[in-house]
Amino acid sequence: MPSLPPAPGEARRGYTPPPWSAAPTSEQRLAATPPPAGYTQRRRSGRALAAVVGLVLVAGLSGLGFWYFGRDDGDRSGAGTAPSVSGSVSAKSSAPESPEPTASPTPIPSVAAGYRVVRDPVGYTLDVPQGWTRRQQQGEKAPVVYYDSPSDGRQLQIFALSEATPAESLDLAENDPGYGYAKQPGYQAGDRTSGDTWAELSYRYDDQDKGTRQVVDHRFQAADGTLYAIRSSGPGSLPAALVRGPLTTALDSFCPAGARCS
Mean pLDDT of 59-81: 42
pLDDT of residue 193: 97
Task: Please report the pLDDT score of residue 237 as a whole number.
Answer: 96
All domains in the chain, ordered by first residue:
115-256 (3.40.1000.10)
Through-space distance between the first and last CA atoms of the chain, rounded to whole angstroms: 144
Band (179; pLDDT cuts 50, 70, 90): confident
pLDDT digits (tens, 9 = 90+) for 12-24: 444 444 443 444 4
Summarize pLDDT for 187-219 with one digit per residue, the tens: 999 999 999 999 999 999 999 999 999 999 999
Overall pTM > 0.85: no
Region 175-194: mean pLDDT is 94
CA 194-196-198 angle, 5° bins: 50
Among 109-113, 117-121, 159-163, the minimum mean pLDDT is found in 109-113
* Percentage above 70 pLDDT, the chain: 58
Q: Output 241 or 27, whichever has higher pLDDT.
A: 241
**Residue 90 or residue 184, greater confidence:** 184
pLDDT at residue 234 greater than cutoff 80: yes
